[in-house]
Amino acid sequence: MDFVLPAPVKEALGRLEAAGYAAYAVGGCVRDHVLGMEPHDYDICTSAAPQEMQKVFQGERTIETGIKHGTLTVLLSGMPLEITTFRVDGEYLDGRHPSSVRFADRVEDDLSRRDFTINAMAYSPKTGLVDPFGGQADCKRGVIRCVGEAEQRFGEDALRILRALRFSARLGFPIEEATARAAHAGRDMLQKISRERIAAELTGTLMGAHCAQVLADFPDVLCAAIPDLEALTRSDRWPHTLRTLTFAPQDPTLRWAALLMEAPRPDRFDLPYEILQGLKMPTKLCETVRKLTPIENRSFRKGLPSIRWLLMRLGPEQAEQMLLLLEADMLALHPASSEKAIRKEYRQNREELHRLLDENVCYSLSQLAVNGQDMAKAGLRGPQIGQTLNRLLLQVVMNELPNEREALLNAIHQENEDNLRGL
Ligand code: ATP
Ligand code: MG
């Protein structure tokens, strides 16, 4: 198998070899090459120790990413290359971190500590593909399989359970039987893993083109990571959630919103937000999902409130996201024969949204043709002012009143008179 490696990668391998060390491209980039996909970055492994690497790349820009663990990042022609000394992990005492890291002499040793066969291949132009665990065959066959004994490997590092789900969701490869069994059996070990690492792997899983299939097969693992999803995954809303996920655009916020849209319960309407906060997700994502998931937003699909109403509730950016989410929700609700019509309808909805924004349509208090001072002049006081402004905004948004000063002031005076007459 011949790979076309980018010039900086070839150069790094060449320089290490010229200095007498073994060096390979390794891991994800080799897997992607074997699968005929474009790697998004290149990792290199080498027999050179960190200090020896530093000598080889003297004069180049380097970042000491993890010297202790044997990793140095080198910038060659603007390309960042993570170069790591061959290593084997010591014993895992806590199910998270190896208690020690030992440098190794042979690339095969380094490959043996890696998680899945498809991730445990190395390549150099000099030696060709190094594939001691049948990674190439598993790429061809299309399976996710642990290197070695699955149960033991998940016992060493339970995060690998979620990594299996992530690669399966991304590549559409089923998880091989023994590996799947060990994933189910070992799911409770996820409690030992930090929330941030869990969140990163779950986001990766949700972003996969095949995430619905994976979550359908591993709801127990999902619930081990997020116990608050137990009720949802056991409910009749779960199949719909999975279908919605398959139609939701591949965007982290929208995928999380699709997963959590059916999660709120009468006693815990803020559950999506609580879950994401618990996972220590970025504040912006937590807040956005919180605004996208309430059930009220979905009354839009029944055709009642207008796009302006969504704009008022959510603002321009989130109104657009909401339309995408509603489209996924609708596609999930209806048979494939309606797909074309639904997609067309929502394309038009988005166009309408853009048109309204281009026309500078009023959807917020700051755009309203009257303000608080006008209300005070009209004799309103305290909380009445805010309430009246909001009511006027809603009337403008619903097209019941034009956004014109005269008309709005008239409406207030009319109201005042009605009030005085005791209506
Ligand atoms: P991606 O395209 O998502 O970056 P990747 O294969 O490069 O895929 P990374 O998470 O970047 O995945 O990890 C790089 C490599 O390190 C993996 O291919 C795998 O060989 C190894 N690896 C990463 N995490 C683990 C782990 N928890 N246990 C064992 N090996 C791991
Ligand atoms: Mg990577």
How do residues 53-67 score in pLDDT, each as one tens digit? 999 999 999 998 888
Per-residue confidence (pLDDT) for residue 98, from 0 to 100 = 76
* Cβ within 8 Å of residue 29, ≥6 positions away: 39, 41, 42, 43
Per-residue confidence (pLDDT) for residue 178, from 0 to 100 = 98
Task: Give the nearest ligand 1 atom to 166 CA.
Answer: 3
Which ligand sits nearest to residue 147's alpha carbon? 1
Per-residue confidence (pLDDT) for residue 92, from 0 to 100 = 73
For residues 259-284, average pLDDT = 95
CA of 202 to the centre of ligand 2 (A): 16
CA of 292 to the centre of ligand 2 (A): 31
- Residue ranges of alpha helices (H) inside 38-98 are 50-56
Digit-coded pLDDT (tens) for 120-166: 999 999 999 999 999 999 999 999 999 999 999 999 999 999 999 99
Per-residue confidence (pLDDT) for residue 353, from 0 to 100 = 94
What is the rounded distance in angstroms from the CA atom of residue 78 to the CA atom of residue 41?
13
**Is a pLDDT exceeding 60 seen at residue 79?**
yes
CA of 217 to the centre of ligand 1 (A): 23
Probe ligand 1: pick from 35, 115, 130, 163, max atoms within 8 Å of CB?
Answer: 115
Per-residue pLDDT band for 303 (boundaries 50, 70, 90) equals low
Task: Give the nearest ligand 1 atom to 160 CA.
Answer: 27
Per-residue pLDDT band for 1 (boundaries 50, 70, 90) equals low
Per-residue confidence (pLDDT) for residue 70, from 0 to 100 = 86
Per-residue confidence (pLDDT) for residue 419, from 0 to 100 = 72
Per-residue confidence (pLDDT) for residue 417, from 0 to 100 = 78
Which ligand sits nearest to residue 201's alpha carbon? 1
CA of 160 to the centre of ligand 2 (A): 14
Q: Whose CA is nearest to atom 12 of ligand 1?
A: 28
Task: Give the nearest ligand 1 atom to 40 CA.
Answer: 2
- The pTM of this model reads 0.92
Q: When comparing pLDDT for 302 and 404, which is higher?
A: 404
Digit-coded pLDDT (tens) for 165-213: 999 999 999 999 999 999 999 999 999 999 999 999 999 999 999 999 9
Probe ligand 1: pick from 71, 107, 114, max atoms within 8 Å of CB?
Answer: 114
Q: What is the mean pLDDT of the chain?
A: 93
Q: When comparing pLDDT for 91 and 366, which is higher?
A: 366
Per-residue confidence (pLDDT) for residue 305, from 0 to 100 = 59
Which ligand sits nearest to residue 30's alpha carbon? 1
Query: DSSP characters for 229-286?
Result: GHHHHHSTTHHHHHHHHHHS-S-HHHHHHHHHTT--BTTBTTHHHHHHHHTT--HHHH
Can you read off the two tokens belonging to residue 51? 């200090």
Pocket of ligand 1 (CB under 6 A): 27-28, 40, 43, 114-115, 119-120, 157, 159-160, 163
**Is a pLDDT exceeding 60 seen at residue 69?**
yes
Per-residue confidence (pLDDT) for residue 423, from 0 to 100 = 57
Q: What is the CA radius of gyration of the chain?
A: 28
Digit-coded pLDDT (tens) for 12-34: 999 999 999 999 999 999 999 99
Q: When comparing pLDDT for 106 and 70, which is higher?
A: 106
Q: Whose CA is nearest to atom 2 of ligand 1?
A: 28
CA of 228 to the centre of ligand 2 (A): 30
The answer to whether 167 and 132 have CB atoms below 8 angstroms apart is: no
Per-residue confidence (pLDDT) for residue 41, from 0 to 100 = 94
Among candidates 311, 307, 308, 343, which has minimal Cα distance to 327? 343
Which ligand sits nearest to residue 84's alpha carbon? 1
SS3 content of the chain, % helix, strand, coil (to 5): 60, 10, 30
Range of weakest confidence among 299-303, 387-391, 417-421: 299-303
Per-residue confidence (pLDDT) for residue 380, from 0 to 100 = 86
CA of 114 to the centre of ligand 1 (A): 7
